[in-house]
Amino acid sequence: MKMNVLVVDDTQINVTLLSHLIAKLDGCEAVGFTDPAQGLAWCGDHVPDLVLLDYMMPGIDGIEFLRRFREIPGRADIPVLMVTANDQLEVRHEALESGANDFLTKPIDKTEFTARARNMLALRAGRRKLEQQNLILSDEKELLEDIVTRMRSASPFDTRGVRHVQKSLERTAGDLVLSARRPDGSHHVLVGDFSGHGLTAAFGAPLVSWIFYHLTAEGRDLGHILAELNGTLSRQLPTQIYMAAGALELSPDQKQVRLWNCGLPPLLCLSAAHEAIRVKSAGLPLGIVESADGMAPHAEIALAPDSRIYQYTDGLTEAASPSGELFGQTRLEGLLARIHREQLPLEAIWMELDAYCDGQGLSDDAVLVEVYADA
């Protein structure tokens, strides 16, 4: 990997000397200018790996050159070694405070100069290698995100009797919503919240989605499906990745609902008379402990006409105001009751949260699901 070194000094003999010393370093090539303006113009089209810069120059001095150089996009982290015949402490301070990385006084000691230049070029080479690796990782991350997104968007989501909204901090989210009907007409809805954020948290979603839809289509009851999900996640994923889950199974006549809460905030059932039934978490998140047993429902409720069941992740309740106060369960339940009572769109939740957070946004992925009888 060739390293380019820019030498700027208004005295030609100094440019020649420094360029000669640089040429002795393996893989290095020097470009020299006695006119600082020409050096800056060259920097507009080229990215040096090191700048050797004279402090005292007519017109554009070293400090002004450095200021303009740092303003060029992509040049803020390029190492600069300031060279001057002025050895006053104030000059050193000015150079370093202006963005120089190191300082040498004339006459130059060749051994010291070579050692410092070599060290700065080694750091620059390490940074270039890291930048290249980050570009590769970024490309791979984008590809994986595309794969995960495609797999998730291919899910056969049943929209009947369900409204939901979702916000993600990244392109791939750790929260998911699944909805499907069994052959007998029973309605399954699952809300999941994987531990962590981003791509790592989202990787389990396609696996969960495939099991959920496949077993629902086979006619398996939701307790069996949740047990299968729990066992598969615990076997297939690292221990630090697990999924908090809320699930419901609505009977074919849509008059009975069975509910599971494994690590999510309370599931909320609101009747037309605004009576509230809360189903708090009564089980571990899925994937923490493997068990061969089925999962019995945590609650069974007779569903009154015009009732609504709300499932959501803690990204809603943990939204924070500028002072750090959380939105909390009480505010959320009040807002959900108003959404139900006034038949508002679920998107009203984002307007309320945005106002509460003063436009600062959420600190976690968030999902809100409303389930109702559609017959």
In this prediction, residue 144 has a pLDDT band, given cuts at 50, 70 and 90, of low
Query: What does the pLDDT read at residue 134?
Result: 77
The pair of structure tokens assigned to 228 is 């299968």
Domain boundaries, the chain: 3-133, 155-371
The residues pairing with 178 across neighbouring beta strands, listed in sequence order, are 190
Query: What does the pLDDT read at residue 172?
Result: 55
In this prediction, residue 86 has a pLDDT band, given cuts at 50, 70 and 90, of confident
Query: Contact at 8 Å (CB) between 166 and 369?
Result: no
Q: What is the pLDDT of residues 231-282, one digit of tens each?
A: 999 988 888 889 999 999 999 999 999 999 999 999 999 998 878 999 999 9
Select 3-133's CATH number: 3.40.640.10, 3.40.50.720, 3.40.50.2300, 3.30.70.980. Answer: 3.40.50.2300
In this prediction, residue 228 has a pLDDT band, given cuts at 50, 70 and 90, of very high
Alpha helices in the chain (DSSP H): 12-23, 36-45, 62-71, 89-97, 110-153, 198-202, 204-217, 222-236, 314-317, 328-342, 348-356
Q: Is 71 exposed, middle or buried (0-12, 13-18, 19+ CB in 10 A)?
A: exposed
At which residue do the structure tokens 């052959």 appear?
183
Q: What is the pLDDT of residues 182-206, one digit of tens each?
A: 999 999 999 999 886 666 666 788 8
Query: Contact at 8 Å (CB) between 121 and 25?
Result: yes
pLDDT of 151 > 60? The answer is no
155-371 is a CATH 3.60.40.10 domain: yes
Rounded mean pLDDT of 94-107? 82
- pTM flag (> 0.95): no
Burial readout 294-306 (b: 16 or more C-beta within 10 A, e: otherwise): ebebbbebebeee
